[in-house]
């Protein structure tokens, strides 16, 4: 389903997480790669949008958690797309992430998930750091928003006043929330990142864990989370 008000952004919903497809003239770019069933959900969504003949040229990652990167190797094999990803989450792309404190439990879950779902390590073609510009779809600025993971980044479209927010928060109606503590590397840094995101000139945000509300509604929820921090 294309995003309300944007006929060149598609939201692909798969098991517990969604991801995005951007169409730039006749090329497609993914923001994250989904989780279990993500590839078939992507295929269905592209067909529905009438985009199935367009080549997928690149995959941009917001961070290295398994529910965002599980399908990257398969997608690269199938499409030849390049991968751009935050520098500081390299361990995740290698299948060797390090976790500390409470989030060690997530490390155990991910290890199991990598085995069960056949994760394969992948090469990054371009490393992303705060302030970098990706020159697709009118330009996407990389905004380092650490805390959830060390490298976690948002992608900001200045022309649309829109932030792809990754896992900065989950937008689920009355149950909207910051990611649960066990999923976060650094709780304090995450809170600082929420402020940094909201300092951008925004009319909409699109997170990866969300219901089908509009980007305007997601932004309203993020602001109300920030207000309560």
Quick note: the x/- pattern for Zn ion over 141-170, rule CB under 5 A, is: --------------------------x---
The alpha carbons of the chain give a radius of gyration, in whole angstroms, of 16
Question: CB under 8 Å to 48, separation ≥6 — which residues?
Answer: 1
- Could you tell me the smallest distance in angstroms from the CB atom of residue 80 to Zn ion? 26
Cβ proximity of 155 and 31 under 8 Å: yes
- Please tell me what DSSP assigns to residue 129: -
Query: Toward Zn ion, which CB reaches closer, 160 or 209?
Result: 209
Under the criterion CB under 5 A, does residue 65 sit at the interface with Zn ion? yes
Nearest approach, Cβ of 32 to Zn ion (angstroms)?
10
How many other CB atoms sit within 10 Å of the CB of residue 83? 22
Q: Tell me the per-residue interface mask from 166 to 195 with Zn ion, x by CB under 5 A, - otherwise.
A: -x----------------------------
Q: In terms of CB distance, is 69 or 81 closer to Zn ion?
A: 69
Nearest-CB residue to Zn ion? 65
CA torsion through residues 59, 188, 205, 208, sign:
positive
Residue 65 or residue 196: which is nearer to Zn ion going by CB?
A: 65
Q: How far is the CB of 110 from Zn ion (least distance, A)?
A: 10
Phi, psi of 60 (to 5 degrees): -110, 130
Torsion of CA 46, 121, 108, 86, to 10 degrees: -70
Interface contacts to Zn ion, rule CB under 5 A: 65, 167
């Amino acid at each position: 389903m294309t995003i309300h008000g944007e006929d060149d952004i598609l939201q692909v919903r798969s098991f517990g997480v969604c991801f995005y497809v951007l169409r730039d003239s006749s090329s497609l770019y993914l923001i994250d790669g989904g989780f279990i069933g993500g590839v078939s959900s992507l295929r269905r969504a592209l067909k529905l949008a009438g985009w199935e003949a367009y080549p997928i040229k690149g995959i941009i990652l917001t961070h290295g958690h398994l529910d965002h990167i599980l399908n990257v190797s398969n997608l690269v094999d199938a499409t030849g797309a390049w991968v751009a990803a935050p520098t500081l989450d390299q361990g995740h792309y290698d299948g060797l992430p390090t976790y500390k404190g409470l989030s060690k439990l997530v490390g155990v879950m991910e290890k199991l998930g990598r085995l069960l779902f056949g994760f394969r390590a992948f090469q990054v073609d371009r490393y992303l750091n705060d302030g970098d510009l990706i020159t697709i779809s009118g330009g996407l600025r990389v905004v380092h928003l650490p805390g959830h993971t060390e490298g976690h980044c948002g992608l900001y479209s200045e022309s649309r006043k829109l932030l792809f927010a990754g896992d900065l928060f989950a937008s689920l109606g009355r149950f909207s929330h910051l990611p649960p503590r066990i999923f976060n590397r650094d709780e304090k840094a995450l809170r600082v990142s929420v402020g940094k995101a909201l300092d951008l000139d925004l009319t909409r945000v699109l997170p990866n864990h969300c219901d089908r509300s509009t980007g305007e509604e997601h932004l309203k929820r993020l602001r109300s989370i920030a207000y309560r921090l």
